[in-house]
Amino acid sequence: MTLEPGSLRRVELRRIDLPLVSPFRTSFGVEADRDILLVRVEWQSASGAVTEGWGECVALAEPTYSAEYVDGAQHVMTSHLLPRLTSAASLSATDVGTLLAPIHGHPMAKGALEMAILDAQLRAAGISFGEHIGASATTIPSGVSVGIHDDVDSLLATVQGYVDDGYVRIKLKIEPGADVEHVAAVRDMIGPDMPLQVDANTAYTRTDGAHLARLDDYDLLLIEQPLPEDDIIGHARLAAEVVTPICLDESLVSASGTVDAIELGACEIANIKPGRVGGYLEAVRIHDVCRSRDIPVWCGGMVETGIGRAANAMLAALPGFVLPGDISASTRFYARDVVTDPIVIVDGHVTVPTSPGFGFEIDQSFLDEVTASTTLVHG
């Protein structure tokens, strides 16, 4: 359905500090807490009703995962993106991409703004994002992402805890020196039937094909993003060297780019992260092009709060998401979340939210408690 257009009455940027329940290590570095940028909008529809909407920017504190970082995201929103949106006489979430296209890059910042506007429009219409995009699943399987450990024993203890929690798939972060031995030990512990995959976060080079082919012995679902994000040809060559399917993450930033990667043979499975691709609407388009080409997809995570976690669950209810994603329980990362109804795992699955918007309600008192700053940009 077409959502009623309107305009932005008020825009607030809120920075919050949330400690992680345990440090999370990838090949990019170690995170112990999250500096998160949230966007709150007051949206006035053409008929005059005012509705609140929220967006979450997934940029990290430092530009390690991508060129974006949280301070930069706030600056580009304030100085360049929001002036283009607040000056529009009539605005819908579907207009955001076009209006912001003159600003190169910054998909995480753009995606957070689009998310907040879309959340408000959906709430005004009384429908959920899942309903809006035609998602049909009521529950989705939940996987968990396990950071790099210094030794195998501590890794096995962590994985066993997640197995006991009921997760249906394990993903191991890997890097040179913490890969084959770790994978072999985990596969031996969890047995041959539990799905297992690895994520390299660009830690390898084109010359590592023979080494990564050693992972073929462990019946992995996929090897995620082994090479730098701009090396599409390298991924295609690697796909010819290893049996395990190559999955792209950081390399996929748009639907058109995803088509190119698929046609070059570099993308056998796709990880869709809405923040990385500029928002949930582009994420749906990537899902659609992958499904039309029989490329399996799954929903990755960026250590989101319950805001992004609920939205990801709705996205992952689309039919092309055939592999378990990284939509783990909120308690995987946070002792307490900023929403009143955080994501939980029951029998290895997440119940897809169905309430209007992106399916969450803010825990205002706790949000205020963890807020470091609030900036009124418009209104």
Let me know if 140 is exposed, middle or buried by CB neighbors in 10 A (0-12, 13-18, 19+): buried
Q: How far apart are CA 359 and CA 308, in angstroms?
A: 10
Contacts of 219 (CB under 8 A, 6+ apart): 187, 192, 196
Q: 24 has which bridge partners?
A: 31
Q: What would the 3-class secondary structure string for 295-321 be?
A: CCEEECCCCCCHHHHHHHHHHCCCCCE
What is the Cβ-side half-sphere exposure of residue 185, based on CA atoms within 13 angstroms? 17
Distance (Å, whole) CA 266 – CA 250: 13
Three-state DSSP class for residue 110: helix
Q: How far apart are CA 108 and CA 72, in angstroms?
A: 10
**Active-site residue set:** 173, 273
Can you give the length of the chain in residues? 379
Alpha carbon distance 6, 45 (integer Å): 4
Q: Are 253 and 278 in contact (CB under 8 A)?
A: yes
Which two structure tokens, joined as six digits, stand for 114?
């689009």
The neighbouring-strand residues paired with 350 are 140
| The pair of three-digit structure tokens given for residue 340, joined into one six-digit string | 């009143």
Residue in the structure block whose two tokens are 């957070």? 112
> In what helix (H) or strand (E) does residue 170 lie, and over which residues does it extend?
strand 169-173
Pairwise CA distance, residues 369 & 177, whole Å: 41
Task: Determine the Cα–Cα distance for residues 31 and 198; give it in Å rounded to an integer.
Answer: 19
Q: Which residue has the tokens 């512990």?
A: 189
Cβ-Cβ contacts under 8 Å for 114 (sequence gap 6 or more): 55, 93, 96, 97, 278, 279, 280, 281
